[in-house]
Structure 1
């Protein structure tokens, strides 16, 4: 027996005053309506209606049960309306996960602007260098960087591409000199940024030949912003994603070296479970970022490719 359907029929019988009138409203036969009410009473082991050939009367139990039925049915209607409208009106909590650099440099500032546009959405953002399981961890959208994505059933929206550049503090270069070739790096302290995609490798394309540079043991860290601070303090030469490097260049903390080389090119993706019945908060968040992030990347690229910020 469908208990909720039986509850609806019971409430309609009381409101209509008879089985026949309720049947007409519900587009059921009178026999079906009578059977559903009887099955509900059997299920509850309680009599809800006193019946005669001319009238119906609620029992005391039936009166109390009717009140609770109305509360439950109203809650169900509200829940259905909210769920069916979720694809129309952005509202509720939006759970977002991002790798740290992307989140701090881009997503957090953009989240503030998004929430001004959609004030009924509350963003819950988690930042880490590890990629969560989108479904098991209950995330709505996961942002990641990758050379290429593995096959999966997730929807992947490409938001843009970025790359990494070699940087150093002006004070470090004044003391140790400016490297002009890859061979010169052997005379410098090269710092290790543990990248979630590429590890700590520095592999260059040197006239069509891949060439890996051995890094020292001076300093290593797994967050680009921390590496930028260490390099700004004069610890050595580092490799930074353009979105982190651009800010340090504009602040005068770092400059770019070996500008003919750029490494670790990868795409930035928004991942979410399905396009089908896509929640409005997910749809509008991704659409908003598809408009904003390419311009942000272009702005960063204009800085790192500007000779004014080169050593």
Structure 2
């Protein structure tokens, strides 16, 4: 027996006043309607209606069951409606993760603009360097930077490419000189941004001439957050590699200058990762579409500034 359907039939009989009228309203037969109520009574082991040849009336147990059943079915219908609308109307809390420096520079402004368009959506944004487990950490979507993604059951969408640059403070360069070649870096203190993937200490440069690798001899300082490395570089501790997003902000304030501008490092893909494509929640779908539409312009603007 379908308990919920039997409850719906029972309430319809009460509202209609008899089995025939209820069957017509449900677009079914009187026999089905009567059997559904009889099955419900058998399940509850109590009589819900007093039946005569002329009319039916609720028993005391039937009145109590009706009082409980109506709000239950109302709540169920509301839940079904909200669940269906979740794939159509963006609403509720959207839980986003992004890498810290990238998220501060790009994701926060995009969230602000997205929420203007989608006033029913609230956003929780988590910023840290590692790629999270979406399901274990209760996240809807992650914006990550990676050369490639490990095979998983998650859905990914490419949003563009990102890179890092080598830089130092103007004061440091004035005191120690500006490197003109990769070999010149051997004469400088090289500050290291530690990546969560535990990559090697070598710097892999891309240029028009192809790929070149430099292994710093002096690594007096390392840190795991680009914002912290930016502070160390701005204070004149040495030369280091920063994500373009972090460098662009510091460069605009005059705190950092680019070194060896013909080279790029740590070129990575930008991915949006989310658990499933099927029955995709509207707030996730619209956020991915929004980022895919507006992120390239932000990246292009920074690339124009840093060269």
Q: 1:235 aligns with which of 231, 234, 237?
A: 237
Q: 2:218 aligns with which of 188, 192, 216?
A: 216
Alpha-carbon contact 1:146-1:197 (below 8 Å) kept? no
Could you say which residue in structure 1 is the equivalent of 2:203?
A: 202
Deviations 1:98-117 (A, max 9, x none): 11112111111221121111
Could you say which residue in structure 1 is the equivalent of 2:147?
A: 147
Could you say which residue in structure 1 is the equivalent of 2:305?
A: 303
Alpha-carbon contact 2:95-2:140 (below 8 Å) kept? yes
Deviations 1:248-284 (A, max 9, x none): 1110000011112111111111111223222111111
Mean Cα deviation higher: 83-92 or 228-237: 83-92
Alignment pair present for 1:67 and 2:67: yes
For residues 150 and 89 of structure 1, the distance between their equivalents in structure 2, rounded to whole angstroms, comes to 32
Structure 1 unmatched ranges of 5 or more: 306-311
Report the CA distance between 1:215 and its aligned residue. 4.9
Q: Over the residues paired in the alignment, what is the CA RMSD in angstroms?
A: 1.7
For residues 290 and 197 of structure 1, the distance between their equivalents in structure 2, rounded to whole angstroms, comes to 26
Q: How does 1:1-311 map to 2 (within 5 A)?
A: 1-196=1-196, 199=199, 200-204=201-205, 207-208=209-210, 210-305=212-307
Which secondary structure state, in structure 2, belongs to the residue aligned with residue 191 of structure 1? strand
Mean Cα deviation higher: 241-250 or 27-36: 27-36
Structure 2 unmatched ranges of 5 or more: none
Alpha-carbon contact 1:86-1:279 (below 8 Å) kept? yes
For residues 49 and 126 of structure 2, the distance between their equivalents in structure 1, rounded to whole angstroms, comes to 55
Report the CA distance between 1:152 and its aligned residue. 3.0
- Give the direction of change, closer, same or farther, for the CA distance of 1:94–1:215 in structure 2 (3 Å limit): farther
- Give the direction of change, closer, same or farther, for the CA distance of 1:118–1:208 in structure 2 (3 Å limit): closer
For residues 198 and 178 of structure 1, the distance between their equivalents in structure 2, rounded to whole angstroms, comes to 29
For residues 184 and 275 of structure 2, the distance between their equivalents in structure 1, rounded to whole angstroms, comes to 47
Alpha-carbon contact 1:121-1:281 (below 8 Å) kept? yes
Report the CA distance between 1:203 and its aligned residue. 2.2
Report the CA distance between 1:189 and its aligned residue. 0.4
- Give the direction of change, closer, same or farther, for the CA distance of 1:95–1:208 in structure 2 (3 Å limit): closer
TM-score, normalised via structure 2 length = 0.94
TM-score, normalised via structure 1 length = 0.93
- Paired residues in the alignment total 305
For residues 232 and 117 of structure 1, the distance between their equivalents in structure 2, rounded to whole angstroms, comes to 37
Which secondary structure state, in structure 2, belongs to the residue aligned with residue 260 of structure 1? coil
- Give the direction of change, closer, same or farther, for the CA distance of 1:295–1:229 in structure 2 (3 Å limit): same
Could you say which residue in structure 2 is the equivalent of 1:308?
A: none
Which secondary structure state, in structure 1, belongs to the residue aligned with residue 143 of structure 2? strand
Alpha-carbon contact 2:165-2:247 (below 8 Å) kept? yes
Report the CA distance between 1:79 and its aligned residue. 1.3
